[in-house]
Amino acid sequence: MDLRHAMMGRRAMTAVAITTGLLLTVAGCGGSGGDDKSNDSSAASSPTASQDDGGSKESSTPSTDKVLATAKDGDITVTINSAQRDQGGFVTVAGQVTNGGSSSWLGADWQSNETELAGNGGSLSGASLVDEKGKKKYLVLRDTSGRCLCTKFSRLRPGDTASWFAQFPAPPDGTDTVSFQVGALPPTSVDLSEGE
């Protein structure tokens, strides 16, 4: 009987710790929502794009000068500009998506097929990181309301470019390279960097 109560107590403490960690992650990411959803390509490349928070969230707007990887699916080109480990135990992958086609794009095939993430619409909720060395797949983090900690796209018109980000649980410290995958884009190898 005591063993059963001890196990139940451990499970409860684990659930509280996970919930607290997710809430802290969401609270720490709350200020970047307006910058990441911008459709204006000039704002994405402008150094003054993060006016709302005084420029203190540099990691949410990736430098477009550095290209870690590029993947293409038809007319859609994805560029990864950063894949950074953050102190909170997660990885933030960020970059740009460009619509090189003749019709608008919504990112509908990038959304997750998980029931919990169904309300995220055209977003990166279906993205994943794969640690081939550790044989683990990491899905996009989500908050307690079922919203992914990632960019939700509005209509991307032909020729437009938009910035994006997605946050994942961090692989173990020995893992320096992961594969990023979303929708029908081919898996793309990305080197992780350490956060500030």
Burial of 178 (0-12, 13-18, 19+ CB in 10 A): buried
Strand bridging mode 193-194 / 76-86: parallel
CB–CB of 129/138 below 8 Å?
yes
| Interval 18-60: pLDDT, tens | 655 555 555 555 444 444 444 443 333 333 333 333 333 334 4
In this model, does residue 95 exceed pLDDT 60?
Answer: yes
| Interval 4-27: pLDDT, tens | 555 555 555 555 456 555 555 555
Measured between alpha carbons, how far is 32 from 133 in angstroms, rounded to an integer?
Answer: 32
Measured between alpha carbons, how far is 126 from 148 in angstroms, rounded to an integer?
Answer: 9
Measured between alpha carbons, how far is 97 from 125 in angstroms, rounded to an integer?
Answer: 15
Query: Which H or E run includes 83?
Result: strand 76-86
Measured between alpha carbons, how far is 138 from 189 in angstroms, rounded to an integer?
Answer: 14
What are the sequence ranges of the domains in the chain? Answer: 2-194
| Interval 156-175: pLDDT, tens | 899 999 999 999 999 998 89
Measured between alpha carbons, how far is 99 from 76 in angstroms, rounded to an integer?
Answer: 5
